[in-house]
Chain A
């Protein structure tokens, strides 16, 4: 049993597939997420692949504060993902609503809608920071 759990955890650490969702960011964080997917940063080294469908993904990368409009959608997408799943909040806005704090249409950071496993601050967060965040998150899987 022990060894099966070890192998499972190893496979999860080595093969995180991500899906990217913008819940109301100013688009700068999205561009940085896209930049980190380019061959220059080569995240396939860690086994990371971008997937289109939430059913295939293990890690949900969210950028931006949760707006009232996007709240239902982010919850739907989170629920469509299959267990085990992880959420990474990219950017100051995603961590705490940042500069949009108190805006009439903003509810707050990502953690007001869904549970978050890793926060990557920065306005916008650099690709290195995003990759660092995801890899650190993976290393917590035991």
Chain B
């Protein structure tokens, strides 16, 4: 009986909370938040609140075309892989308290690897659609991966080194106990926000799907429900990355009260999404070479210096 119960809880965790359903709803909510903040920053009214839902339903009910040149089976399965990897990484991120569903020492690294899979699927999706624009988009996505991935990882490793643990729950527990130490990590936070834009392929690092250059980028040939899957996945990835940044860089946690904790979580993610939208509104697109040299010459040294600083402070403590 107890066995059955635990299987039931596991299925509930995977499908409803904090798995697919919860993440799906969050991705719609934050897609709307992102779009409305962006619109308000441009001094316009912006989309109505139901816009992401309408987009989703419309795409799900549209005809789905699979190019005859494309590899049929891979073309169909790649969006699922992308979404599954994103949803899996969410299981290791603390939501309403400072303990995730399945914490273990090293889940920070695992989440980072999980978050690399979507970018790889973008490349594969572009490659297997056998369209020139999609291939160029995929190659650009790959090239950006080599630029932002290193500073993104290192910016999260700095705070983790100070906390002395590789577990996200452990890191947030540490900063809850020592809230002032978070001030040391502000340069790292800036690096994380910048490279998160690269990971999410948003302005200023949106060269892989720049519609003025490469049509639809990786997703040029995708339509209907597969495109809907990819869009859901992009929204979910934004939530996961924002939640990860919020978990590592913010000391605000309230233990015990689930409703209050959830509210705080939503506010923290909203704050990160606000920063992301602010950057999207304020900056123009970087050329690929500018983006690569910016990541390697500015962001990486800053995060290296941050790790060094964190290690020195840890030694002094």
On whether the beta carbons of A47 and B51 are closer than 8 Å, the reply is: yes
Collect the chain B residues with CB atoms within 8 Å of residue A7's CB. Answer: 57
Which listed residue (A8, A47, A50) contacts B47, Cβ 8 A? A47
A51-B224 CB under 8 A given contacts A8-B61, A39-B43, A56-B216: no
A72 at the interface (CB under 8 A from B): no
Please provide the chain B residues from 188 to 246 with a CB less than 8 Å away from any CB of chain A in the complex: 211-212, 214-217, 219-224, 227
Which listed residue (B35, B57, B224) contacts A8, Cβ 8 A? B57
**How many A-B residue pairs lie within 8 Å, measured between CB atoms?**
92
Question: What is the predominant secondary structure among interface residues of chain A facing chain B?
Answer: loop
A14-B54 CB under 8 A given contacts A53-B219, A55-B220, A83-B62: yes
On whether the beta carbons of B46 and A58 are closer than 8 Å, the reply is: no
Q: Which residues of A contact B (CB under 8 A)?
A: 7-8, 10-12, 14-15, 39-40, 42, 44-45, 47, 50-53, 55-56, 58, 80, 82-84
Which listed residue (B43, B55, B62, B216) contacts A52, Cβ 8 A? B216
A50 CA to B209 CA, complexed, in Å: 13
Which listed residue (A8, A51, A82) contacts B65, Cβ 8 A? A82
A56 to chain B, nearest CB (A): 6
On whether the beta carbons of B222 and A55 are closer than 8 Å, the reply is: yes
Which listed residue (B39, B217, B220, B223) contacts A42, Cβ 8 A? B39
Collect the chain B residues with CB atoms within 8 Å of residue A52's CB. Answer: 211-212, 214-217, 220
On whether the beta carbons of B55 and A15 are closer than 8 Å, the reply is: yes
On whether the beta carbons of B35 and A44 are closer than 8 Å, the reply is: yes
Which listed residue (B45, B51, B56, B211) contacts A51, Cβ 8 A? B211
